[in-house]
Amino acid sequence: MPSSFLLAGTHSGCGKTTISLGIMAALRQMGYEVQPFKCGPDFIDPTLHGVVCDKISRNLDLRMCGPDFVRQVFAGHPAQVRVVEGVMGLFDGGEASAASLAKALDIPVILVVDVRSAAESVAAVVKGFSELDPEVRLLGVIFNRIGSPRHLELVQGAVEKYCTVPVLGYLPRDVEFSIPERHLGLHMGEEGALSAETISRLAETILHYVDVGGLLAASTDGADQVIASVMPPTPVPGPKKRLAVARDEAFCFYYQDNFDLLAQAGVELVFFSPLHDRDLPADIKAVYLGGGYPELFGAMLAANTTMRTALKKWSEQGGIMYAECGGFMYLSQGIVNHDGGYHEMVGVFPVQARMSKGLRSLGYREATLVNDSLWGGRGDVVRGHEFHYSEIDAMPVAISRVYQLQDGRAEGYQLRNTLGGYLHLHFGGTPGAVAWFAGKLGEDNQK
């Protein structure tokens, strides 16, 4: 029978992602079909899941999308084993926490506990996590960074004495798996962050130290416990409206379910590369520039003058263009890096983007539209997430702000039919925004 479970941690940095990838790899090596999911707005971990499982990993975000859409996505992607990787600590994030997601999906939780620099006290941690919310079903625990056989004996003995949660296994401290990191987190799966050798070692290590069979037996699904309370939209018939989507090493932060919602609304996605292509795709109705790492590829983006010229001309002639975070930076006059180096960009917006060594903004955002825009009419609401290490110069007042954020900030800068800003939007909770956007593509906006 199929199984579903969520892997959570006691805190960020406890080894949750490594163990999640290892369990996925072990299950694949055992011959199981594994469908991965990620709790929260993360763009990077799902790409690593995809490399291991050979399936697109789906984001499940209660805050941006609401429980109906989250359940719909989970139920719509069945497999022999469905594995959800949590976010931060199990209870961190309130309604967006891994605990809230486990309850919304009615699936059990496996807790990863970093036991470095602790022994019997780990039992108090496990007991607290297991009893804090009785509605969260804790299936078992996996210890990470066990230092010696004696260390394991002390930790496991205390947990078995004081807790009712089964111990499913552990990873030794001297087993390390290195995944390259940078300022926004781990490297993407497409960048070769996980080699075939690393995946194989992860699988073998998990199979040696963790009771994967017991884990599967304990997490067996009953009847399909997750019933979608909102039916997926019926695809719009008729000719497709072509949307050029920037997708390459520099622009790689997208939610797959946004793509699916656009496709269901009658939009054909045509991918192109601002790094490598010389011009925009033919016969398009709009351009979508997602987030990513333009600051790491500044020299290459600057050197591709024909693409920069094409995008600027597209905007100046009234073409529809939407850019978020890294894509927004690309539409600025240029990017100033940490070392003061400067790379000229497209030049649609009359500001520069400046990289900072510290995080400039992080968190969920709800944006009320103060004017009609690409994603809805005045008074409509869209939801997203903000996470960036750059900031822009003061935007001229002549350029419209179409978002009013809940913290009072004005964001979402619209010039002609070009809309840019730092928000990464997810339309799972506001599908009407996608229908509105698709309708805009049917209008004659080109001069």
For 372, residues 6+ apart whose C-beta sits below 8 A from its C-beta are 378
Give the per-residue SS3 of 132-184. CCCCCCEEEEEEEEECCHHHHHHHHHHHHHHCCCCEEEEEECCCCCCCCEECC
325 is catalytic: yes
Place of tokens 């496990």: 126
If you ran DSSP here, which 8-state letter would residue 221 be given? -
Q: What share of the chain is helix, strand, coil (3-state, %, to 5)?
A: 30, 30, 40
Identity of residue 134: P
Q: What does residue 297 show for φ and ψ, rounded to 5 degrees?
A: -120, 25
| Count of beta carbons in the 10 Å neighbourhood of residue 363 | 10
Cα–Cα dist 345/95, whole Å: 39
- Checking DSSP bridges between strand 81-89 and strand 34-39, what pairing results, if any? parallel
Catalytic option among 14, 39, 163, 325: 325
CA 164, 169, 171 angle in degrees (round to 5)? 135
Helices marked H in 210-332: 212-218, 256-264, 298-303, 305-316, 326-330
CA distances from 206 to 38, 75, 101, 426 (A): 20, 27, 25, 34
Cα–Cα dist 95/103, whole Å: 11
CA distances from 5 to 83, 207, 247, 307 (A): 6, 17, 32, 45
Paired tokens of 279: 């011009």
Largest CA distance in the chain: 75
Q: 408-437: string of b/e by CB count within 10 Å (b at 16+)?
A: eeebbbbbbbbbbbbbbbbbbbbbebbbbb
The DSSP annotation for 74-111 comes to HHTS--SEEEEEEEEETTTTGGGSHHHHHHHHT--EEE
Say if CB 227 and CB 78 are below 8 A apart: no
Active site positions, annotated: 325
